[in-house]
Amino acid sequence: MAHDMTSGERTATLYRMVMENHLCPFGLKAKALLERKGFKVDDHWLRTRDETDRFQREHGVETTPQVFIDGRRIGGYDALREHLGQHVPKKGETTYRPIIAIFSVAFLMGLAVSWAALGTIFTIKALEWFVAIAMCFLGVQKLQDVESFSTMFLNYDLLAKRHVRYAYLYPFGETLAGVLMLAGALLWIAAPVALFIGAVGAVSVFKAVYIDRRELKCACVGGSSNVPLGFVSLTENLMMVAMAVWMPLRMGLA
């Protein structure tokens, strides 16, 4: 466990479970992180349940892996990340990462489809496909657990509060509208659906956030979201409204 002062190389001691039927993933992550940070890892395998239990009793810990640096116990993988200056999200901490991932990938996919179909990237169609794909992604996030989504959605949606069934129908409507707009088909169904749910959603979010000043989590990426309700959810709804108006106009002008 001691620091190697003679060679100048930092040394860390790691205890992790490596059993026949179980290889601790956090132990692997801890070892990889230590090595990336320049540590020579003294890697101790806990090969049986009895050996693991004995180690935990001796060190007064309840979990493995456990990391020691300079003879001092740092703790498990998250504690190691904090010790090395990395940000470790806390339970319930707000984050925009899910929505950034969805919009970024949807935008790149819109460009990719434009390139494949039209031979060029930056087109009006690319923007249409971007919005449609984003709607599909957002719909899928909700459809993974409609029950959890509906619970969070009922906190702020004005129509869902009056008609609870609407909270269960919303993810299907958003996904259907996205798929149809992506195909450019049956816009007489897609446009009214997107316009309706987008308009109701925009009004609901605006009232909850900017009038009532409520601090809520957004249901836009599903019921387990830590994305704060506000600009992102308002943007989602306004995008649907814009697409619902634009697509029929463009088709009529084509």
Tell me which architecture the domain covering 10-83 has in CATH. Answer: 3-Layer(aba) Sandwich (3.40)
Q: What is the 3-state secondary structure (H, E, C) of 67-109?
A: EEECCEEEECHHHHHHHCCCCCCCCCCCCCHHHHHHHHHHHHH
Residue 65: asked if its preceding bond is cis (omega within 30°), the reply is yes
pTM strictly above 0.85: no
**Residue (of 244, 220, 103, 94) closest to 157 by Cα position:** 220
> What is the pLDDT averaged over residues 163-183?
93
Amino acid identity at 212: D
- Report yes or no: 142 and 170 within 8 Å, Cβ to Cβ: yes
Q: Where are the domains of the chain?
A: 10-83, 97-253
- Report yes or no: 142 and 99 within 8 Å, Cβ to Cβ: no
Confidence band, pLDDT 50/70/90 cuts, at residue 92: low
Query: How many angstroms separate the CA atoms of 126 and 53, rounded?
Result: 57
Q: Specify burial of residue 213 (Cβ count, 10 A radius: 0-12, 13-18, 19+).
A: exposed
Amino acid identity at 58: E
Q: 10 Å Cβ neighbour count for 135?
A: 28
> Which pLDDT tens digit goes with each residue over 23-75?
999 999 999 999 999 999 999 999 999 999 999 999 999 999 999 998 899 99
> Which pLDDT tens digit goes with each residue over 197-212?
999 999 998 898 888 8
Q: What is the 3-state secondary structure (H, E, C) of 200-218?
A: HHHHHHHHHHHHCCCCCEC
Confidence band, pLDDT 50/70/90 cuts, at residue 252: low
pLDDT at residue 153 greater than cutoff 80 = yes
The DSSP 8-state label assigned to residue 227 in this structure reads P
